Amino acid sequence: MSLFSAVEMAPRDPILGLNEAFNADTRPTKVNLGVGVYYNEEGRIPLLRAVQEAEKARLAANSPRGYLPIEGIAAYDTAVQKMLFGDGSALIAEGRVVTTQALGGTGALKIGADFLKRLLPDAVVAISDPSWENHRALFQSAGFPVQNYRYYEAASHGVNRAGMLEDLRALPPRSIVVLHACCHNPTGVDLDIVDWKAILEVLREREHVPFLDIAYQGFGDGIEQDAEAVRLFAESGLEFFVSSSFSKSFSLYGERVGALSIVTSSKDEAARVLSQVKRVIRTNYSNPPTHGASIVSSVLNSPELRAMWETELGEMRERIRSMRLAMVEQLATLGAKRDFGFVARQRGMFSYSGLSADQVERLRNEFGIYAVSTGRICVAALNNHNIGSVTQAIAQVL
Ligand code: PMP
């Protein structure tokens, strides 16, 4: 009998399945709003100028490709810390933050989850309802039971604040709480500073371990503004985890550039934590790849390239913002039977559009417009060429 005869077919990834259906669609007017990628006005994934410059320099230097240290490029790790905690961060100065390069934000979550499993083997992990679908799977694969806390409130297109706090209070003490630091995926609905302060107090009271996931820093209101929650936690004196990613902000999806940062209580703790995180990395993939992190590190550590990147990041952020505003305006002009003003209040690449699964299906069948059945659309896939047809189609299916 074959070793594999009893292997069952795993369920298809719903979003990748959507891409396959989109690719097979022959209608020239088709639009893919199901993806989680930023496209420029021409409908392409940009290769940022700052990245091109750094790549040219790297190529010209004929740099050898030896193994990196287990924790990655030191100058990269330091640059990540400054982006997250701020240039003048006391935590950094006190040596209390451990940062290791990771294979994207996903890799950072996985390393963090594996390390936490050793520290808190019996903990429960709580994620927002809804959340990025990989959060549940990642923490489950590290061996944790995963449950939801209330988050999105469909009626108000906002946050169920009371429900969220109540659920966080009801978790067993020392639970691990995964929070989207900005640009919530999939809803686009973020917490404000008042919410963050209230959440922080519950986490402190219940001794929960915060795990902040920040995959879209710079896509919301700006690099510094989007780090507001991270900075608040940094000042709180709590210990916490941060997974961060440059996939979106550098448009380097396939290079897998992310980081795991862990805030500890002392320099001595930090050294011991780093040694254990390195063991986790060592037994997973030994050490991280060189290219992406060396590009990001060159850009962040060169004043000229950094300024160039910040401009380009600002352009991406502004383009998304203008697409949100255009969508709201056009739907109002078309006399849509619903007010879409909430779309302009959401942040990041995504919008929970409020469209039902039936409406999403009609968009796809009748108009070749692909969205996730939950109603999630990627606003960063809209542009001035396709937005008119998208809003007209939405107005028709309402
Ligand atoms: N966290 C969230 C909330 C995300 O949306 C994503 C990317 N879709 C990630 C983490 C992982 O990012 P990466 O592609 O860098 O692994």
The model's pLDDT over 263-272, given as tens digits with 9 standing for 90+, comes to 999 999 999 9
Q: Determine whether 339 is an active site residue.
A: no
Proportion of the chain above pLDDT 90, given as a percent: 97
Q: Determine whether 87 is an active site residue.
A: no
Q: Which residues pair with 177 in a beta bridge?
A: 126, 210
- Overall average pLDDT of the 144-148 stretch: 98
State the amino acid at position 227 in one-letter form.
A
In the reported structure, the alpha carbon of residue 215 is separated from the centroid of ligand 1 by a whole-number distance in angstroms of 5
The closest-lying atom of ligand 1 relative to the alpha carbon of residue 107 is 16
Kindly tell me the sign of the dihedral angle through the C-alpha atoms of 189, 191, 192, 194: positive
The closest-lying atom of ligand 1 relative to the alpha carbon of residue 213 is 1
Q: What is the pLDDT of residue 253?
A: 98
Q: What is the pLDDT of residue 337?
A: 87
**Which residues, 6 or more positions from 192, have their beta carbon under 8 angstroms from its beta carbon?**
none
CA angle 81, 84, 87 (to 5 degrees): 65
Q: Is residue 121 over pLDDT 90? A: yes
- In angstroms, rounded to a whole number, what is the distance separating the alpha carbons of residues 76 and 101? 7
Confidence of residue 391 (pLDDT cuts 50, 70, 90): very high
Per-residue CA distances from 391 to 58, 262, 269, 334, 387 (Å): 44, 43, 54, 8, 6
Of 114, 167, 190, 248, catalytic: 248
Q: Is residue 14 over pLDDT 90? A: no
Residue nearest to atom 8 of ligand 1 (CA): 36
Bridge pairing between strands 240-245 and 369-370: unpaired
Read off the pLDDT of residues 31-86 as tens digits, 9 standing for 90 and up. 999 989 999 999 999 999 999 999 999 999 999 999 999 999 999 999 999 999 99
Interface ipTM = 0.99
Choose among 218, 289, 251: nearest CA to 50. 251
Confidence of residue 320 (pLDDT cuts 50, 70, 90): very high
- Overall average pLDDT of the 5-29 stretch: 90
Q: Is 335 exposed, middle or buried (0-12, 13-18, 19+ CB in 10 A)?
A: exposed
- Overall average pLDDT of the 167-173 stretch: 98
List all residues whose CB is within 6 A of at least one atom of ligand 1: 36, 104-106, 132, 180, 185, 213, 215, 245, 247, 258
Residue 8 token pair:
């069952």
Q: What is the pLDDT of residue 12?
A: 82
- Overall average pLDDT of the 308-313 stretch: 98
Of 77, 132, 190, 226, catalytic: 132
The closest-lying atom of ligand 1 relative to the alpha carbon of residue 245 is 15
Which of 179, 247, 257, 379, when mutated, tests ligand 1's pocket best, judged by the most ligand atoms within 8 Å of its CB?
A: 247
Residue nearest to atom 7 of ligand 1 (CA): 215
Q: What is the pLDDT of residue 383?
A: 98
Q: What is the pLDDT of residue 147?
A: 98
On average, the pLDDT of the chain sits at 97
Q: Determine whether 196 is an active site residue.
A: no
Q: Is residue 11 over pLDDT 90? A: no
Read off the pLDDT of residues 230-241 as tens digits, 9 standing for 90 and up. 999 999 999 999
**Which residues, 6 or more positions from 197, have their beta carbon under 8 angstroms from its beta carbon?**
232
In the reported structure, the alpha carbon of residue 244 is separated from the centroid of ligand 1 by a whole-number distance in angstroms of 8
Helix, coil or strand: residue 131 = coil
Q: Is residue 27 over pLDDT 90? A: yes
CA angle 225, 83, 114 (to 5 degrees): 110
Q: What is the pLDDT of residue 259?
A: 98
In the reported structure, the alpha carbon of residue 59 is separated from the centroid of ligand 1 by a whole-number distance in angstroms of 28
Q: What is the pLDDT of residue 15?
A: 81
Per-residue CA distances from 94 to 25, 77, 174, 355 (Å): 56, 16, 25, 49
